[in-house]
């Protein structure tokens, strides 16, 4: 039963709400939207430290609508990605947001990669991904004449979209349902006051009955502000892209991926066709020296020190320092970057590409040094925290919102 917050109960706060959502990225906005649609009598606000929505992971997303072939059957990622992709495609059709259903191929370049390719096929079938087909060299050449491989997995349902436009549509729906987005509101403190939650920001405080935190790269810090467990920590990884020159875009027709290394959550350097017709090449995956460090030379001493102090990071660094060093060297060498991509596209030359965008992946890292693979949604002390929702978080945004809204309804008694 909805029970709106009585007026006059929060004299210390300049704003009051029934539910406050922290984070105006695609997950926060999709969740706020659905809460407002389900509970129209509640006052719901979204807080974000930036002056515009979707400034970080959402706005810098490559745009892929993932199909769900990579994730362990039975995991949250598997469930929410497949369901979320279908919901997102339907939503974009309803709103007139352009999508490009171009499909993709995951390519085994060498015979020793075939068992991993077959495992991706098995996972995709188990997860309910439609239309999957293991194809040979001849069919691969029909789909992608310039791509080299011994076998491939064809995923015809994969598409691309502009997630910035999707986030804007979520925000419009939220506003139409009576919600309010409060920008320039970085949450610097969280404390409970008379059974409510006081969110302290540089632009005044907001008192709410309930909180849902979707803080992305700051998920661990916001959780700690509310008294949550410091683990898992967020470690930022920067991914840099190059873009194919227009006259060389014919080298690929759609999305072309290598078979990924099962020891890492990153998919390797691949091609991404975008809705505007451009083609990205990348990303790599290197440790970012700042949580918003989109440039190679961006450094935050505080962010870097926090990463280096984390027990889990020290353990993973000892285990994979050679891999990390190789990624870093390649990041500073266009020639090496293109050489990695040439394993898929032998005709590619360094002169074919120009610098492209960069993004930060907010990757949760456990204290034992393992990268947290699944989504992590946590309910603690009257608040819900999204502790880990990297890719395919954008694809899954509507399904994550449904899961969080269900959890909020039960945990908060909405």
Residue-level pLDDT at 195: 85
Residue-level pLDDT at 325: 81
Contacts (Cβ under 8 Å, ≥6 apart) of 410: none
Residue-level pLDDT at 252: 96
More confident residue, 153 or 5: 153
pLDDT over 70 percentage in the chain: 96
Confidence of residue 216 (pLDDT cuts 50, 70, 90): very high
Residue-level pLDDT at 265: 55
More confident residue, 222 or 282: 222
Against a cut of 0.85, is the pTM above it?
A: yes
- Whole-number Å distance between alpha carbons of 124 and 62: 21
Residue-level pLDDT at 5: 46
Residue-level pLDDT at 277: 93
More confident residue, 8 or 367: 367
Q: What is the mean pLDDT of the chain?
A: 93
Q: Is the pLDDT of residue 227 over 60?
A: yes
- Whole-number Å distance between alpha carbons of 213 and 408: 12
Cα–Cα distances (Å) from 377 to 70, 112, 405, in that order, read: 20, 36, 12
Confidence of residue 264 (pLDDT cuts 50, 70, 90): low
Confidence of residue 323 (pLDDT cuts 50, 70, 90): confident
Which domains can be identified in the chain, with CATH numbers? 1-100+160-231+374-414 (3.50.50.60), 104-156 (no CATH), 233-371 (3.30.9)
What tokens appear for 178 in the block? 């009576």
**Burial of 309 by CB count in 10 Å (0-12 exposed, 13-18 middle, 19+ buried)?**
exposed
Confidence of residue 9 (pLDDT cuts 50, 70, 90): very low
The 159-161 sheet, strands edge to edge: 64-65, 159-161, 99-100
């Amino acid at each position: 039963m909805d029970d709106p917050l009585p007026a006059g109960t929060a004299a210390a706060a300049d704003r009051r709400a029934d539910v406050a959502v922290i984070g105006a990225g695609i997950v926060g906005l999709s969740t706020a939207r659905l809460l407002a649609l389900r509970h129209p009598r509640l006052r719901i606000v979204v807080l974000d430290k930036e002056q515009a929505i979707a400034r970080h992971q959402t706005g810098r997303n490559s745009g892929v609508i993932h199909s769900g072939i990579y994730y362990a059957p039975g995991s949250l990622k598997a469930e929410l990605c497949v369901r979320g992709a279908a919901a997102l495609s339907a939503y974009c059709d309803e709103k007139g947001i352009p999508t490009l259903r171009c499909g993709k191929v995951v390519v085994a370049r060498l015979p020793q990669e075939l068992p991993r390719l077959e495992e991706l096929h098995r996972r995709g079938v188990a997860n309910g991904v439609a239309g999957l087909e293991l194809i040979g060299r001849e069919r691969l050449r029909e789909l992608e004449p310039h791509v080299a491989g011994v076998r491939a997995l064809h995923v015809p349902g994969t598409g691309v979209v502009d997630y910035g436009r999707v986030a804007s549509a979520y925000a419009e729906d939220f506003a139409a349902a009576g919600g309010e987005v409060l920008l320039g509101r970085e949450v610097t403190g969280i404390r409970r006051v008379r059974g409510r939650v006081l969110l302290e920001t540089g632009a005044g405080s907001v008192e709410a009955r309930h909180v849902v935190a979707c803080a992305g790269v700051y998920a661990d810090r916001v959780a700690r502000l509310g008294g949550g467990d410091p683990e898992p920590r967020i470690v930022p990884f920067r991914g840099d892209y190059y873009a194919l020159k227009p006259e060389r875009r014919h080298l690929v027709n759609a999305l072309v991926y290598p078979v990924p290394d099962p020891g890492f959550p990153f998919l390797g350097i691949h091609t991404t066709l975008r809705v505007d017709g451009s083609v990205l090449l990348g990303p790599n995956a290197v440790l970012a020296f700042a949580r918003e460090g989109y440039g190679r030379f961006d450094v935050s001493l505080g962010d870097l020190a926090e990463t280096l102090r984390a027990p889990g990071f020290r353990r993973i660094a000892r285990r994979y320092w050679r891999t990390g060093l190789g990624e870093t060297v390649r990041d500073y060498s266009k020639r090496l970057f293109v050489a990695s991509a040439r394993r898929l596209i032998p005709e590619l030359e360094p002169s074919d590409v120009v610098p492209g965008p960069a993004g930060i992946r907010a990757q949760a890292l456990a204290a034992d040094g393992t990268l947290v693979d699944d989504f992590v949604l946590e309910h603690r002390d009257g608040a819900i925290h999204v502790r880990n929702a990297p890719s395919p978080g954008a694809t899954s945004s509507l399904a994550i919102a449904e899961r969080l809204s269900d959890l909020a309804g039960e945990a908060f008694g909405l």
